[in-house]
Chains A and B, each alone.
Chain A
Amino acid sequence: MKKNNKLINWQADRSKYPEMDKNGKAIIDLSSQKFTKIWQGPNHPGVTGNMSLELTLSGDEVVDAKTHVGYLHRGFEKLMERRIYIKCFPTCIRMCVPEADSNEYVLASCIEDLAGVEVPEIALWLRTLVLEMARLQMLLRTVPGQASTLSLGLGGQWGMYLRDLILDRFEELTGGRVYHMFIIPGGVRGYLPDGFKERMEENLKEIDEFIVKIEDLIFTNSIFKKRTVGVGIIDPAWVDQYGIVGPNARAAGFKRDVRKDYPYLKYSELDFDPYTATDSDIYTRSQVRKHDLIMTVDLIRQILAKMPKKGDLRAETPNVLHWKIPKGETYQRSESSRGEFGMYMVSDGSKYPRRVNLRGPSYTHAVSLLEKMLINANIADVHSIMVSLQTCPPEIER
């Protein structure tokens, strides 16, 4: 069949309508009855968590978008200023529920950096394992979840089943499924249980099969490709302008990964190479996340093979109930499944933190970037674009 290039390359003529002001922003007069204002969220199956988008539509095309957050605001950072450091952990982990271990890690490492605590070898390995397991369960939701936004729900349900297996492993290692509280200042709470490696290997084999099968189920699916290739493009020039990090930046050709660039824990002893691509559309971002999933499975195998059997779990620290952290300030970062996840902490030398500020990737991705990307998008693509940025609202309103 002869390709109709004219049709493929068709672009809507925006020279006359909607009218633009001198800054290139659409002039919106709601009383003209040419525009419709709708709210997507806070209760909407296509919204990632508790946030909403105020969309102004012209026909089925978005001409203006505003992100609204605050549905989950409990003032976590303010509450932590009233708590001793050890009591900050249960508050901190709620700042991003699906991947709570990154929160634990950055909080613990800020405290250790200010107090000058050296974490023992085995604890470093166990922390690396926990962070990779958290990434794995998150990616098992996100990679097939992208197809779910386009009504291809089978992969999503399959991924949730596999995620549950990883939560089983979390439960036997830490006692908790979603919130683990495994990483504590100075180390971790426990060793690997007997038979953990074998059970994890069984789960990883199932995930290996899943990765092969989602290639046919999702990535070569013609509808998935039609709806995601060339849609939701992030211009590489935006990466620094909008503070884009993680898989969203790697899909735009930037080889940025905190694990490689600023090696922490035991990542310098592991063999991995973050995948980058250049097309920077929804499809490419999904591909980058799929390769992250493959890499994470490999990293967990490497970590379990290198895991020491004996050693101290925790460094000696003062009594955590009366621990005064020396005066100072620091910033610590880790690579979450969504990108650079950091914490800025200021101590005034007392038992309570003076200021804790979380830097979540969604803060930039879901507000300034999403508002920019949604302009001229079709209403049917809005949730797909949003999920492709992997936003997590509690990071914004913490």
Chain B
Amino acid sequence: MQKIINKLETIFEISDVVKQRDNLNFLTCKKEQAISVITHLKNIEGFSHLVLLSAVDWLEDGKFQLTYILNNPDKKIDISIRVFLDRDNATMDSAHHLWKHVATYQRELKEMFGIDFPGSPRVDESFILEGWDNIPPYRRDFDTLKYAEETFFPREGRDSNDPAEHMKKKLYPDEEK
């Protein structure tokens, strides 16, 4: 593992290397070099399995962190690549040409965090949310509690404890008793 990281450090600008376990390292690379680093790991170092692509919102720093976890199934080691993007107008180069399932991750990140991946297939199609008109909901400044209170409350209480009467009122409000 150390050899691979040393090699990466000679070719690319790598920083903040953290050894979480013997077979799991985290490192940060520049946004412009990220796809090259990932391509190098996939094609030359044998990290052929993309475990996941995720994002973290560092609201206080004005940054998004993208995390690509790559796995080498032969050597049984993982390298996790961190990439930091500006929160305003966040865009990242697409990696859909490297793995087919990346397009799904990128589509989800566009919807949930508002991070754009120009050129990624179906990236603008809604994935989970349909007809969503608020800010992307996985951003830290989206308040789930406030949203729930505004959208679902206050609820009208029941006038009667009799279920039949309550349902009759609810379903046929215009009908007289």
Tell me the A residues contacting B by CB distance below 8 Å: 69-70, 73, 75, 77-79, 81-82, 113, 238, 240-243, 254, 256, 261-262, 328-331, 333, 340, 342, 344, 346, 354-355, 357, 359, 363-364, 367-369, 372, 397
Q: Mark B85-113, 1 if CB is under 8 A from A, else 0.
A: 00000000000000111011000000000
Assess whether B11 is interfacial by the CB under 8 Å rule: no
Which residues of B from 144 to 163 have beta carbons under 8 Å from A?
144-145
- Distance to closest chain B CB from A309 (angstroms): 31
Is B99 a contact of A242 with CB atoms below 8 Å? yes
Is A70 a contact of B129 with CB atoms below 8 Å? yes
Instruction: List the 10 closest A-B pairs by CB distance, nearest first.
Output: A70-B128, A357-B54, A240-B48, A364-B101, A359-B52, A355-B56, A368-B101, A243-B101, A367-B104, A397-B128
Complex CA gap A70/B138 in Å reads: 15
Tell me the B residues contacting A by CB distance below 8 Å: 18, 20-21, 23-24, 26, 48-52, 54-57, 65, 67, 69, 73, 76, 78, 80, 99-101, 103-104, 127-130, 137-138, 140, 142, 144-145
Complex CA gap A340/B76 in Å reads: 13
In the complex where A261-B76, A331-B69 touch, is A113 in contact with B101 (Cβ < 8 A)?
Answer: no
Chain A residues within 8 Å of B49, by CB: 240, 243
In the complex where A70-B130, A75-B137 touch, is A359 in contact with B51 (Cβ < 8 A)?
Answer: yes
In this complex, the member of A243, A254, A328 whose beta carbon has the largest number of chain B beta carbons within 10 angstroms is A243
- Distance to closest chain A CB from B68 (angstroms): 11
Complex CA gap A130/B148 in Å reads: 36
17 A-B contact pairs sorted by A residue (CB < 8 Å) = A69-B128, A75-B144, A77-B138, A238-B100, A240-B73, A241-B101, A242-B100, A243-B50, A262-B76, A329-B18, A331-B24, A331-B51, A333-B51, A344-B54, A354-B56, A357-B52, A359-B51
- Distance to closest chain A CB from B67 (angstroms): 7
Is A73 a contact of B23 with CB atoms below 8 Å? no
Chain A residues within 8 Å of B144, by CB: 75, 78-79, 82
In this complex, the member of B48, B55, B100 whose beta carbon has the largest number of chain A beta carbons within 10 angstroms is B100
Chain B residues within 8 Å of A346, by CB: 56, 65
Complex CA gap A243/B128 in Å reads: 20
Complex CA gap A290/B137 in Å reads: 41
Complex CA gap A256/B78 in Å reads: 15
For residue A256, which residue of chain B has the nearest CB?
B73
Chain A residues within 8 Å of B99, by CB: 240-243
Complex CA gap A367/B78 in Å reads: 24
Chain B residues within 8 Å of A364, by CB: 101, 104
Is A368 a contact of B69 with CB atoms below 8 Å? no
Is A69 a contact of B127 with CB atoms below 8 Å? yes
Chain B residues within 8 Å of A397, by CB: 128
- Distance to closest chain A CB from B130 (angstroms): 6
- Distance to closest chain A CB from B90 (angstroms): 16
- Residue of B50, B52, B57 near A342 (CB, 8 A) is B52
Complex CA gap A75/B147 in Å reads: 13
Is A368 a contact of B100 with CB atoms below 8 Å? yes
Chain B residues within 8 Å of A254, by CB: 73
For residue A243, which residue of chain B has the nearest CB?
B101
Is A262 a contact of B23 with CB atoms below 8 Å? yes
Chain B residues within 8 Å of A82, by CB: 144-145
Chain B residues within 8 Å of A372, by CB: 100
Is B145 a contact of A330 with CB atoms below 8 Å? no
Chain A residues within 8 Å of B140, by CB: 81
Question: With A329-B26, A344-B69 given, can you name 12 additional A-B contacts, CB distance below 8 Å?
Answer: A70-B128, A73-B129, A78-B142, A113-B20, A243-B51, A330-B21, A340-B51, A344-B52, A344-B67, A355-B56, A369-B101, A397-B128
Is A78 a contact of B138 with CB atoms below 8 Å? yes
Complex CA gap A82/B148 in Å reads: 14
